[in-house]
Amino acid sequence: MVRAFSYELLAEDPSGARLGRFHTPHGAFDTPVFMPVATRGTLKSLTSAQLAETGAEIVLANAYHLMQRPGEEVVAAMGGVHRFMAWEKPVLTDSGGFQVFSLSDRVALDDDGVTFRSEIDGSAIRLTPERVIAIEESLGSDIAMPLDHCIAFGAEKGDVARAADRTVAWARRSMAAKTRADQAVFPIVQGGMHEDLRLECAQRLMELDAPGYACGGLLVGEPRETAHAMLTAVCRALPRAKPRYVMGVGTPADFLDAVLCGADMMDCVLPSRNARHGTAITRNGPVRMKNAAHARDERPIDPACRCYTCRTHSRAYLRHLVHAGEPTAATLLTIHNLACMTDVMRDARRAIAEGRFAAHRREALARLSAGSAGTVDSAP
């Protein structure tokens, strides 16, 4: 019998990439996995049914936003986040810790917690590790991220060390505060771009014996090579038999790099954000639907893609919707972009199972690079 939370390591590629499966109370998902971001309990422009049809296995929602609107009490009264958003598969909730970083101009932070100035009505919001866990337990997500201190790239090492210490202390308080056996808490490794701080943070967090671990504070302005080195070091230090989540990854190339580092779970708003701005993601690079080259193009975005958008609509039609400002454009392009990212991860899992991920990654990056250089919009 599978426990409420358990991780199966199914294969390891010589490159260090991993194939696995994580079991939750709302089902299992295969790793490496892309998690679409449904910040407020919805993925912008899609219904939950449309989201499921893209192949998504798990989604990310944000406790900081849901506690403001509609309020965690409302979500709890409506049966929890799964029932509220009509999503039967696993849900991971972020804590609001990233807002400490992204909304730093209206945040007061101390060792006990953080106080935000709400962007909705200007009211003061106090979050502590215990309060965040209480919110996430009310929401009823499968995986809850604890409050952490993500510090800006370029900060003094002493400040980074203090932020990592605070993150560890908050993780301990979070684990002590949790009461739900059907919700897993993943402590977050911080430490900036200092490998010694990262490894020390990871070692201290592993004492908590959590079901999984995350790596935060990457891709926040540092060079890509630096982020790669930090993530590789952290993944090597974390337990082999537990999932590793890298938070807020970025482009398809960044996803492939994270898989190479040994990461299992990744999220990003970029696929849906790009869709709302008229850009389709493909395994051969971006397709900018505003381009005049698509005005009479009968082809789908990607002939190899089996999503609803590519099965049904031409580039010409999609370009028309984008230029006309029709909301349907965002819906159709989001469906495609999420399906594409799901396919990127599916291809990666297949390559890992066959022991050829390093070669697969090189080939995939070459295609992405060629497309980014401008060849994809005219590719057959």
Three-state DSSP class for residue 242: coil
Closest CA to 97 of 126, 65, 121, 64: 64
For residue 360, the one-letter residue type is H
- Give strand pairing partners of 109: 114
271: exposed, middle or buried (C-beta count within 10 Å: 0-12, 13-18, 19+)?
Answer: buried
Catalytic residue, chosen from 13, 142, 148, 267, is 267
Report d(CA 143, CA 63) in Å as an integer.
11
Element holding 178 (H helix, E strand): none
- Give strand pairing partners of 279: 288
Helix pair 157-177, 129-139: axis angle to 10 deg: 50
For residue 202, the one-letter residue type is A
Instruction: Kindly list the distances between the CA atom of residue 211 and the CA atoms of 96, 215, 245, in Å, as whole numbers in the listed order.
Output: 21, 14, 11
CB atoms inside a 10 Å sphere around CB 378: 10
Chain centroid to CA 110: 27
Strand order in the sheet with 143-144: 59-62, 91-94, 143-144, 184-185
132-136 CB contacts, 8 Å cutoff, 24+ apart: 132/63, 132/95, 132/96, 132/174, 133/174, 133/177, 133/178, 133/185, 134/177, 135/63, 135/66, 135/67, 135/72, 136/63, 136/93, 136/95, 136/183
Catalytic residue, chosen from 94, 148, 257, 264, is 94
- Is 94 a known active-site residue? yes
Closest CA to 345 of 236, 267, 238, 229: 267
Beta strands 6-12; 18-24: pairing state: antiparallel
Three-state DSSP class for residue 82: helix
- Is 182 a known active-site residue? no
- Which amino acids are annotated catalytic? 94, 267
